[in-house]
Structure 1
Amino acid sequence: MRLDRARLQALQQRLLARADVPPPQTWVPVRLSAHAIGVTRPEIARFLAAREPRCTLTEHGLEFVAEGLSFRDRCALLADAAFRLRDEGLLAGWRDEQLDVRPLSGGAPLATIERAACRPLGIATHAVHMNAFAPDGALFVARRADDKPIDPGLWDNLVGGMVAAGETELDALAREAKEEAGLDLATLAPTRGGFVRERRPVREGYLVESVQVFDAVLPAGCEPRNEDGEVAAIELRDVADVIAAIERDEFTLEAALVTLDALLRRA
């Protein structure tokens, strides 16, 4: 199939505008000592400043006072804040998964935090997604389960998920490939694609996420099978059908951008 590059670029630009929305001006910056790490709603900032001994609210934002603390102690500080938010009903969907907390400007991890606390505190996350092609160029896609708390029922890349604390991108991709599609990444030859970035308000708070794109061509006759129960269906679809579905907003925003990254490289 010959891809219409101008059509794909126009669609990509429309979606990128949706993926880059600053937080409301009334929201409060979040700092871990000298490092900017996120942004949060005023009510969360006020709650933590009142309940967490090492949190203070100033004209510059909400600060977790962590000078002199070890990495382990900084993790404990953020864990305590996450538990307080959970117990107060200010965050939901507890996952028992730790993600790295890095300065918004980049750099080495400062601490780790429960995944469910990232969006309420506007903490940046990093993910990997893989476009899974058949040898003839068709694309495997997955429909998210209807009981997923985020984007239920929408179409998604066959493989995608967060990079956990201490994981490499390929470690995370291998784990997600097995859980979401029953695939052994060691038998594939994934190649790196582009990089997708999002920052926008969401129901849970503020999403700040970077996604490393990977592509792979699955062997002829391969039939991916979900193993974690978070996928309602897996389909092999013609690229033209996928593009039309993206235009109808039937894909998650990040999956649409990840897919367009691959298609534009193939156009």
Structure 2
Amino acid sequence: MSEALQGPPFTNLQLVERVDSWAYFTKDPDAYRRHMQDYYYFLIDGYDKPFGYMHKRFISGIPWPEYWKIDHDKHFLTLTTGSDFATRSQLVNETLRKAHESPDSTVLGRWADEEFPLYSSTGEHVLDLDGCGIDMLGIVNFSVHLTAWVMTAEGIKIWVPRRALTKMSFPGMLDNTVGGSLATGEKPIDGMVRECEEEICLDPAYTRSHIKACGTLSFQLTVDEMLNPACQHQVQYLYEMELRQDIVPKIGDGEVGELHLLSLEELANATRNGEVKLTCNITYLAFLIRHGYITAENEPDIIEICSRLHRYHALFIA
């Protein structure tokens, strides 16, 4: 286990390092290349840049059909067939379905039954794939995250859910107020409104009239949601919303076990003590920075922290 994934208490910089844990080529090219020996480049014929980084455990754990070519010397995994969007989508999803249904394959997670987009470096929408293949292929995923807060006599307090104990990943841990991945064709604001209604029962009209967009975060993680070796590329569209004290979120779709109203200090302590779901730590750090709880005066690593919250996803062959 890397130093960044060791136990609490964590500094704010360590919270970022645990999420933005992928090696940086510009800092140490040789160390980056050694890291990449455990990964294969996911390529598609006709495109010169990789679309993702796949951990080697998937290469041996999945029954690859004949339209995939595996080069073990170069660590290339290439989709060799499919000259159009529909065919590429069909072949990738067929591969995922066969892997999911194979009795010998235990490396693929649950079938999401929801499709997500894959884009090229130039922004071309190349194919759609089931969500179970996102972290396996190590492609960039897009999500929406909301921090809902209320102003009290004691100051700002945040509605913080505790994940249901039935969740496969991070059961019982604290989470973002609302969050979820964006499906193919879904605009960030529409996805955020949908998630608010599903997870905390907020009226869509109220959400649209009160929500505030706060930019993005991005990171590249070396594990999946189950903390197994993988590549998790993610861009989070950030939102926040101040709720009136008489508007109390309600548990909606079963994703949430409990809802707590925490002060900024209580939330900051929860992150440092390892009580928050891994990737949600940086979402809350960004909120604490925006609202002046974490500043240059009380955080000596503020420059490094802010820069690491916005990783540039440039996929390349080292």
Q: Does the alignment reach a TM-score above 0.5?
A: yes
Q: In the alignment, which residue of structure 1 is the partner of 2:159?
A: 140
Q: Which is further off, 52-61 or 111-120?
A: 52-61
With structure 2 as the length reference, what TM-score do the two structures score?
Answer: 0.75
- Partner deviation per Cα, 1:97-146 (whole Å, 9 max, x = no partner): 1111123x461321111101111121221101001011332100101111
Q: In the alignment, which residue of structure 2 is the partner of 1:32?
A: 44
CA–CA separation in structure 2 for the residues paired with 1:209 and 1:66: 27
1:175 equivalent in alignment to 2:194: yes
Hey, which bits of structure 1, 4+ residues long, moved more than 3 A?
none
Match for residue 78 of structure 2 among 57, 63, 78: 63
Q: In the alignment, which residue of structure 1 is the partner of 2:145?
A: 129
Whether contact under 8 Å (1:46, 1:57) holds in the other structure is no
Q: CA deviation at 1:232?
A: 0.5
With structure 1 as the length reference, what TM-score do the two structures score?
Answer: 0.88
CA–CA separation in structure 2 for the residues paired with 1:142 and 1:31: 39
Q: Which is further off, 24-33 or 153-162?
A: 24-33
Q: Which consecutive residues of structure 2, in runs of 5 or more, have no partner in the other structure?
A: 1-9, 23-34, 293-318
Match for residue 280 of structure 2 among 246, 255, 261: 255
Judging changes above 3 Å, is the alpha-carbon distance between structure 1 residues 133 and 110 closer, same or farther for their aligned structure 2 residues?
A: same
SS at match of 1:251: coil
Q: Which is further off, 106-115 or 39-48?
A: 39-48
Which residue identity is paired with 2:139? Answer: I
RMSD over aligned CA atoms reads: 1.9
1:92 equivalent in alignment to 2:109: yes
Q: In the alignment, which residue of structure 2 is the partner of 1:18?
A: 18
CA–CA separation in structure 2 for the residues paired with 1:110 and 1:216: 34
CA–CA separation in structure 2 for the residues paired with 1:130 and 1:51: 38
Match for residue 241 of structure 1 among 256, 266, 269: 266
Q: CA deviation at 1:30?
A: 0.6
Which residue identity is paired with 1:57? Answer: I
- Partner deviation per Cα, 1:168-200 (whole Å, 9 max, x = no partner): 001110111011100124213211214222212
SS at match of 1:211: strand
Identity of counterpart residues, as a percentage? Answer: 24
Aligned pairs, number: 255
Q: In the alignment, which residue of structure 2 is the partner of 1:193?
A: 214
Q: Which is further off, 94-103 or 183-192?
A: 183-192
